């Protein structure tokens, strides 16, 4: 397949990338603000989820690093499997994050002084980049499945550090706020 054919293949996915890049953050924001109890649904708060989805973030970071090592060692099949697993982990994180927030009140950070500013800086950059990373992951994935590996490599050099930052800061945010969970 030549470059023109690859680009044409990619364009078939562009509409879905745009739709998902808009819909996913909106749905997560809306659903995580709704409380099932407000709709008369009797459900126990899923307070056990934060350490699980923090662990998933940590595992995602590890998988991303191993996937980069795999591709640098020319193991394309392992890289592909690991990247699909990283996407699955990220989707699992989102589902658990929404489920937790639909059943539990948000936890307020109780730290003071400089640590408070550090926490909110990490949290804010984590949230913003978790939104920004969605189209990057989708575009990177599409370029791989359409065999447009030159363009895939170019965007992967941006996607990887952003996604790794989001995964690692997800763990850091959890560790910093965990003492304040009720």
- Residue 35 maps to which CATH number? 1.20.120
Helix (H) or strand (E) holding 177: helix 149-177
**Distances, alpha carbon 75 to alpha carbons 68, 69, 70, 71, 145, in Å:** 10, 9, 5, 5, 16
The overall average pLDDT reported for the chain is 94
Q: What's the confidence (pLDDT) of residue 40?
A: 84
What percent of the chain has pLDDT above 70? 97
For range 51-68, the mean pLDDT: 98
Judge whether 169 lies within some domain.
Answer: yes
Ramachandran bin of 40, using left for φ above 0, alpha for ψ from -120 to 50, beta for the remaining angles:
left
* Of 99, 81, 169, residue with least CA distance to 133: 169
Q: How many domains does the chain have?
A: 1
pLDDT confidence tier of residue 99, bands split at 50, 70 and 90: very high
pLDDT in tens, 163-179: 999 999 999 999 999 99
- Is residue 101 a part of any domain in this protein? yes
pLDDT at residue 39, as a whole number: 86
H or E stretch at 75? none
- Coil vs helix vs strand at 134: helix
Longest dimension (CA), the chain: 58
Expressed as residue numbers, the domain containing 121 is: 15-180
Q: How confident is the model at residue 101 (pLDDT cuts 50, 70, 90)?
A: very high
In a domain, 3, yes or no: no
Domain contains 176: yes
Q: What is the pLDDT of residue 67?
A: 98
Residue 22 is predicted with a pLDDT of 96
Asked, for residue 9, whether it belongs to a domain, the answer is no
Q: Identify the pLDDT of residue 3.
A: 64
Lookup: tokens for 31: 């659903």
The per-residue pLDDT for range 112-136, each reduced to its tens digit, is 999 999 999 999 999 999 999 999 9
> Tens digits of per-residue pLDDT, 2-42?
666 667 778 889 999 999 999 999 999 999 888 988 888 88
Residue 140, pLDDT score: 97
Is 94 domain-assigned?
A: yes
Residues 6+ apart with CB under 8 A from 139: 17, 155, 159
* Alpha-carbon Rg for the chain in angstroms: 18
Domain membership flag for residue 45: yes
Residue 171 inside a domain? The answer is: yes
Q: Are 175 and 54 in contact (CB under 8 A)?
A: yes
């Amino acid at each position: 397949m030549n470059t023109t054919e690859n680009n044409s293949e990619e364009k078939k996915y562009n509409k879905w990338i745009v739709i998902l890049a808009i819909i996913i953050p909106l749905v997560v924001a809306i659903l995580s603000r709704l409380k099932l109890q407000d709709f008369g649904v009797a459900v126990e708060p899923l307070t056990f989820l934060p350490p699980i989805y923090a662990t998933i973030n940590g595992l995602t970071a590890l998988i991303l690093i191993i996937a980069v090592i795999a591709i640098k060692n020319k193991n394309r099949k392992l890289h592909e499997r690991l990247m699909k697993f990283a996407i699955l982990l990220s989707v699992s994180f989102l589902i658990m994050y929404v489920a937790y927030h639909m059943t539990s009140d948000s936890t307020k950070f109780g730290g003071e002084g400089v640590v408070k500013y550090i926490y909110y800086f990490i949290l804010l950059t984590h949230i913003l980049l978790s939104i920004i990373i969605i189209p990057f992951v989708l575009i990177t994935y599409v370029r791989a499945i359409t065999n447009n590996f030159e363009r895939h490599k170019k965007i992967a050099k941006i996607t990887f550090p952003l996604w790794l930052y989001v995964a690692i800061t997800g763990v850091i945010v959890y560790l910093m706020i965990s003492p304040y969970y009720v």
